[in-house]
Structure 1
Amino acid sequence: MSTFGQYFRVTTFGESHCKAVGCIVDGCPPGLELTEGDVQPQLTRRRPGQSNLTTPRNEKDQVVIQSGTEFGVTLGTPIGLFVANQDQRPHDYSETDFYPRPSHADWTYLQKYGVKASSGGGRSSARETIGRVAAGAIAEKYLRLVYGVEIVAFVSSVGCVEMPFIAQMRNDRALEPEFFQLLDSITRERVDADMVRCPDKDVADQMRDEILKNKEACDSVGGTVTCVIRRVPSGLGEPCFDKLEAKLAHAMLSIPATKGFEIGSGFAGTAMHGSVHNDPFVNSTVDPQGKPNLRTATNFSGGIQGGISNGEHVYFRVAFKPPATISQAQTTAQYNGQGGILAARGRHDPCVVPRAVPIVESMAALVVMDAVLAQNSRSKSASLLPAVSKSNPLMYGQPPSS
């Protein structure tokens, strides 16, 4: 469906070439200072036409808050966010009246609904993600103000060009200290210093060459985006079916063009021994309430154990396929079953990963925000009960006396 989340509910609307796109956010706590200036930066990072590495479609993607705030403060009521489509060219897609584009959603949407958008990808287009990014900016501001949460994503591979840590994971089946240092220190300013959005300059130059090579050949190329979420409160996640990593996987694989998700050590961890992969607990301290506060010496788990956040960095990687629409003649079939040659027109990204970075960050914010509200609801409800005796050993994980 078009709604994501249970407590922080986001419903997106709009197609690629309709009059507008946007979202309705329901469940945002009241009293949050919020204006368009809080939302626009992420939409600007996502918008098309930023460089010769992206689609030339020229959209400013200026957001307007239409409801849910007054005098720059959220009311607790649904927040309406609206972005006009200003550079539509539906005539660029007339050939899709006869041909379903290979690996695009034209055919599957027709099979599901019996009708499909006559231009662009309709709801399967990346234009739909504007609503996600707008909503994610709201969630992110709340998380940053209340918990100090920081979410940073970056391009980690384009085609066969990849950052060194990916090869290290594949060959050594481990993660080097330099990778964790990167997760500790990476900032959006550093990511945005290059339009490829890869923080390794030498690798970014190779990625740029790879994208431009495919663009010149009227082809496309895929890649991966790595994301870290810092200062995630411990205790988030709803076992058994709404574990935090399960919700992150759901969120990331709902983004257009995604084909893979791994968290923590991911697939490389399957080749490691438990004696290496286990994350020992260390540095026990006591919080103001007198409860133990443990950290882990390593973080192969990706900050989540048993589906619940443990207080360490949450990190994961998302795989994006090559964009399906390419300006290259392809032998395929028409809707009527007759063969033919499709030469698609339109304006398309030769590689989606540079613009996917803020989308990944935004979906991560929506997942954490929903999990925070769920946990706060539980904690508040529990706090209304009579206090359990502090002598109860189960309160502190101590073995019961015989």
Structure 2
Amino acid sequence: MATQILLIEDEIQIRENVATLLSLKGYEVSTAPDGREGISQAIVSPPDLILCDIMMPEMDGYQVLDTIRNNRSLATVPFIFLTAKTEEIDVRRGMVSGADDYLTKPFTLDSLLRTIEGRLQREALREANLQARLEELRRTLTSVSTHEYNTPLSGILGFTSLLMDHFQEFNEEDTLSMLSMIKASALRLKRSLDNLRLMEELQQVESANTTHEFYSHGISRIDADMVRQLAGKVKERQGEEIDCQVEVANAALDCPEAGLRLILDELIDNACKFSNGSQPIQIIGRPEGINYRLSFLNVGQHFKAEDIARIAPYTQFDRKIYEQQGSGLGLSIVKKLLTFKKSPMTIQSTPAGETSVTIIFQQVLN
């Protein structure tokens, strides 16, 4: 299929000459005599590249460019200005607005073709890179979700089959143990699905450049009993005993209860998941002036400094080395929730695997 070029030019002679020359070179060219008509044509039939004059009546090239860049379906279309203006300030304005290149009239056919081909090649490389990244994300999602959903499902199906097929062979203690494992697997699966829904919700909020009332407004209290209760739920979900030391001072925090509980749940889960069991997990909360410092400490898998910047949905670090639970959403959810309150999070980890995650909340003082 021929490359489609939209030419927006108010001077009829230039418009017809350029359109004819490009057509002879194999391009499919549509033309518009002004900015409004050009935008209408671009929306109805998105081109592969736009050539646009700057000095036009009613709607100049800068206004056309702004409109194009603010249209989601056209935002990445290569855009080249054609103009007699050669002042540096004019060139800079066009580039700052998002133009890809600038051709000064009069220009030769050779320079026009080289500019068009260069921009189309760059766009092709960008598209190929995007497709490669999407393919890598697809493979990651398939790998993570298959493991994360099938593992608890296998546990549920396996223990259920044992109970149904050999019910009379098990004593009460064995039966309760298997029922406990079934419950832990179901809780793990439910959490994975809940996190998937929550991440989609938070990403929609982020793309809309808004905040979510449910997670951004409100006051909640934190105390040791609340943290211990959440830690108990994490232990139940993971189906194993975890030694957890809680030293949390009572405080009122500028954070809605739903958001605080999600943050605590994710960070306790993360600390438990990556602990090697050699030392207890520590959760420490202390007032510091108008702020409140909450830290989660564990000893286990090393969290590399370069991985901190790579925290993102469905990203798991060193998955080929360590067998990991979870879908890689936990820290991403925490980061997004904290952005609503502008609360900083820092992660420090030594090569020996001593890792601390610290969050600073603002206190609500009487």
After TM superposition, the score normalised by the length of structure 2 is: 0.25
Larger-Rg structure: 2
- Higher RCO (Cα < 8 Å, 6 or more apart): 1
After TM superposition, the score normalised by the length of structure 1 is: 0.23
Give 1 or 2: higher helix fraction. 2
